[in-house]
Amino acid sequence: MDKEDNTELNVIKNLSRIKHKIVILSGKGGVGKSTISANLAIGLSKKGYNVGLLDSDIHGPSIPKILGIEENKPDVTKTGMNPVIVNPKLKVMSMAFLLPETDTPIIWRGPMKMGVIKQFLGEVNWGDLDYLLIDLPPGTGDEPLSIAQLIPDIAGAIIVTTPQDVALVSVRKSVNFVKKMNIPVVGIVENMSGFTCPHCNKSVDIFKTGGGLKVSKDFLIPFLGKIPLDPQIVESGDSGETFIIENETTDSAKAFKDIIKNIEKHVKKKEVKYTK
């Protein structure tokens, strides 16, 4: 019991040096949550903020692959683990760094997983950060719940969805999940929204478009932007080059920048509210 209390205290103490803690979640997997988290983290760091990115997906940690830092290992020091440095402004921690080989499945029960997550929050030397982005596991189950409960004063939640109806059923669950947890919502991002054929330049709505906007209106929460389906994003993710840096002039990159502006606005509003 005492040990447990110390762990929670460590988390609070360690995270108290971080100004804005933002969770990124989705009602279902495969909507591009990790790709979006990685690009937002890079984007915020390029704006001069000190950023941390925590990949809290225990079973499918893909952030290191997306950022091209899979071969890196965090240093273990006497005061805790040092996250992997992506650039002078961006630090990353992920379960993927701790696995012996990438093919190994993590068949762990709930309590074991929570132990690792607590370490990621309480014993990683994040230092002083402007932003910590936490890429939550998909869904509304044990893991996102437990992680959200562990983090004190989350500044906001970004909910990622794809536009088709089947996905929107899940995103509505996510919105209610976040509300139940009393986490303020930054807004909804609609990913894989529309597609322009690179051969004929005509548009095809493979996964439809506009569903995320509809949900944001239904729930009266902000809509942060649409990111089109783009083979370049897939290629960037696979090759470890983040999309936003490599393709600054594309529609997708512009969409990411707008989302970043919305995050800045959101935390600013929150700061004003707290100092009033």
3-state secondary structure of 6: helix
Q: What is the CB neighbour count within 10 angstroms for residue 156?
A: 22
With a CB cutoff of 8 Å and minimum separation 6, the contacts of 176 are none
- Which positions from 240 to 269 touch a copy of itself by CB under 8 A, shown as an x/- string? ------------------------------
Phi first, then psi: give them for residue 21, nearest 5 degrees.
Answer: -105, 115
CB nearer to a copy of itself: pick between 174 and 262: 174
Residue 185's region, left for phi above 0, alpha for psi from -120 to 50, else beta, is beta
| Candidates 11-19, 47-55, 159-167, 263-271; binding stretch for a copy of itself (CB under 8 A) | 159-167
Q: Per-residue x/- mask for a copy of itself, residues 60 to 89, rule CB under 8 A?
A: x-x--xx-----------------------
């807004």: which residue's tokens? 187
Interface residues for a copy of itself in 37-56 (CB under 8 A)? none
Nearer to a copy of itself, 200 or 220 (CB): 200
Count CA within 13 A, CB hemisphere, residue 271: 10
Pick the piece of the chain touching a copy of itself (CB under 8 A) from 71-79, 84-92, 138-146, 251-259. Answer: 138-146
220 is a contact residue toward a copy of itself (CB under 8 A): no
Minimum distance, C-beta of residue 227 to a copy of itself, in the bound complex (Å): 14
The one-letter code for the residue type at 223 is: F
Residues from 162 through 201 that contact a copy of itself (CB under 8 A): 162, 164-167, 169-170, 172-177, 180, 195, 197-200
Kindly state whether residue 110 participates in binding a copy of itself, applying the rule CB under 8 A.
yes
Q: Which of 83, 122, 139, 212 is close enough to bind a copy of itself by CB under 8 A?
A: 139
Nearer to a copy of itself by C-beta: 160 or 259? 160
CA 127-128-133 angle, 5° bins: 90
Sign of CA dihedral 158, 74, 72, 49: positive
User: Euclidean distance between the first and final Cα of the chain, in Å?
Assistant: 38
Q: CA-to-CA distance for 219 and 217, rounded, in angstroms?
A: 5
115 binds a copy of itself (CB under 8 A): no
Q: Which of 56, 222, 39, 260 is nearest to 151 (CA)?
A: 56
**Closest CB 65 distance from a copy of itself, rounded Å:** 5
- 9 lies in the site for a copy of itself, by CB under 8 A: no
Q: Tokens 């009033």 label which residue?
A: 276
Q: Does 59 bind a copy of itself (CB under 8 A)?
A: yes
Query: Could you give the CA distance from residue 226 to residue 155 in angstroms, rounded to a whole number?
Result: 22
Task: Tell whether residue 214 is a contact of a copy of itself (CB under 8 A).
Answer: no
- Quote the tokens at residue 12: 């609070």
Which residues would be at the binding site for a copy of itself (CB under 8 A)?
Answer: 27-31, 34-35, 58-60, 62, 65-66, 102-110, 113, 137-143, 145, 162, 164-167, 169-170, 172-177, 180, 195, 197-200, 202, 204-208, 229, 231, 234-235, 237-238
